[in-house]
Amino acid sequence: MPSYHAPLRDLHFVYHELLDADDVLTALPGFEEATPDLVDAILEEAAKLFEQEIQPLNQPGDEEGCRFEDGRVHTPKGFREAYRAYTEGGWPALSLDPAIGGQGLPETIAFMLEEMINSASVSFGLYPGLTRGAVTALQHHASDELKAIYLPKMAAGTWSGTMCLTEPHAGTDLGLLRTRAEPRGDGSYRIDGTKIFITGGEQDLTENIVHLVLARLPDAPPGIRGISLFLVPKRLPDANGEAGEANGVSCGAIEHKMGIRASSTCVINFDDATGFLVGPEHRGVACMFTMMNAERLAIGIQGLGLAEVAYQNAVGYARERRQGRSARGPQDPDHSADPLLVHPDVRRMLLTTRAFTEGGRALAVWTALNIDLSKHHPDPELRQEADDLVALVTPVVKALFSDLGFESTVLCQQVLGGHGYIREWGMEQFVRDARIAQIYEGTNGIQALDLVRRKLFLHDGRLPNRLFDLIEAYMEPRRGDASLQPFLTPLEHALTLLRELTAWLIREGSEDPDELGAAATDYLRIFGLVILAWFWVRMVETALEDHEGRDDAFYRAKILTGHYFLQRILPQIGSLAAAVRSGARLLMEFEEEAF
């Protein structure tokens, strides 16, 4: 059975040393109590919960899966008890508004816990994860009356939330959905329709399930502009605000999936169900995107969490497993074979994964820090700048992290050889669980299109230019630092290439929109690798500083991993840029009949 240990040392490095989050966050109104001691205590307690209570359920939960009997879903053995421990510990409310029962701590802390829970068990983490997203949407768009009834229960974790978009005939193209909503005349609506792929749509962990449902009113215009958002509870609240009589909501089936088998993925039927409008009529997609954007970041963190736990187990195996001899001759002559770690290709796979997880962790925490700045900084210009950066990197985090997360789990599975393909070692589960993150909450192709078709053009290119200027402002005063030059030079070249490619893409895409679609996936990978390169240079700089009580092994490993990323992984952007510039013609001139 695989194991997991929360990477607390690296989280401390990113939070306290790299980003100086202590000073940044405690200076914001409402976060004065988020002291270093408190943050470390939270991380340590969370690590105990995820290592000792949640992670041991991951593999048996996958093997048992969810059961669907008589319209009810039963989660695997141990999940209910673990979920109770999770809610009783107050973990769902960590970063939520105190007005609804939250603890009011920074989103940055919640992001670090998000990585841990996904390393421990993606399936388990999906249940509270969707609820947090639903709370975010309701806080922004629901009426005060709905907030008062539903949000405290959801913050406590006794009621959960879902996101109901997809229908059997309508996935990415939401304009095709058919679920109907008709006014009842008393402020509520009758909801009828079927939604599929609903994570946590039915389960036995919570007293009630609050569905956020996209549907059409009778007078709705066609397409995406005619969709509204409704809150539809599984059980209607009674006079005391508790889960009362059953609503017209039922589970028709659960999906039998490649991975995340302990997470219930449901077909949900709405038959004469009572729902309540959230936000303005016909503005449902915009309201739902408040939740969707939060979930896209969370899905990216799934890839990061799985890569981390896969790396830990692959390294443990490579230290112990003896196969062959080093090309330089026996390294351990007292045994008949050397450990796998002597082989360059094994090191390539492990270092590639490590370079992603540590670089991705830095980007993830930085993104969360900007979420906190965008909400709480007293200067409106700085709030806008932070909001722009979060909007820009959201599709990058979702797509890059889930792509690299899957690729990393495959690399780590490869380290184990044949044992990586055998269930008892757990690596094949990481591969299966990682695969879905590239698909749900908007496929990675859709994320790439969001980047090139929307984010590059918004406000005359303000969003990408903010990031490019930020990286340039970091590099400018450091160009004379001889110790940083081996790291800074590759970043300078990469940023120059990205600027040139961005200008080329905007120019070509303005004349032929197919150029944007043809380039999107490769361009997003380039964009993401350049951002990771920026963070690797920053981490190397931090590691090169003088540290009291210095942990030399930790900092030296950081510097070596940064060098590996900048010299071995970052150069991929050259071939990707060539593919982008090859243009759309290579794709579009291929005749349909020839496929």
Say how far apart CA 455 and CA 160 lie, in whole Å.
32
The pTM of this model reads 0.96
Q: Which fold has domain 290-442?
A: Butyryl-CoA Dehydrogenase, subunit A; domain 3 (1.20.140)
Say yes or no to pLDDT of 548 above 90.
no
- 142-152 pLDDT, tens digit per residue, is 999 999 999 99
The full set of domain ranges for the chain reads: 8-289, 290-442, 445-589
Architecture of domain 8-289: Beta Barrel (2.40)
Q: Find the mean pLDDT for residues 273-289.
A: 94
Which long-range contacts link 249-255 to residues 24+ away (Cβ below 8 Å)? 249/209, 249/211, 249/273, 250/71, 251/68, 251/71, 251/72, 251/73, 251/201, 251/202, 252/194, 253/68, 254/66, 254/68, 254/73, 254/202, 255/196, 255/197
In the prediction, which pLDDT does 176 show?
81
* pLDDT (0 to 100) of residue 106: 97
For 545-584, where are the alpha helices, taking DSSP H only?
552-564, 572-581
Q: What is the predicted pLDDT for the residue at 333?
A: 86
**pLDDT for the residue 546:** 76
Rounded to 5 degrees, φ, ψ at 138 are -70, -35
Average pLDDT estimate for 534-544: 97
Interval 301-350: pLDDT, tens? 999 999 999 999 999 999 998 887 877 888 888 888 889 999 999 999 99
For the chain, the average pLDDT equals: 95
Per-residue pLDDT at 549 exceeds 90? no
- Tell me how far apart the alpha carbons of residues 235 and 249 are, in angstroms, rounded to a whole number: 8
Average pLDDT of the residues in 211-215: 97
Check for a shared fold between 8-289 and 290-442. no
Question: For this structure, is 145 an active site residue?
Answer: no
Of 53, 114, 167, 441, the active-site residue reads: 441
The most distant pair of C-alpha atoms in the chain lies apart, rounded to whole Å, by 84
Confidence band, pLDDT 50/70/90 cuts, at residue 379: very high
Give the CA radius of gyration of the chain: 24
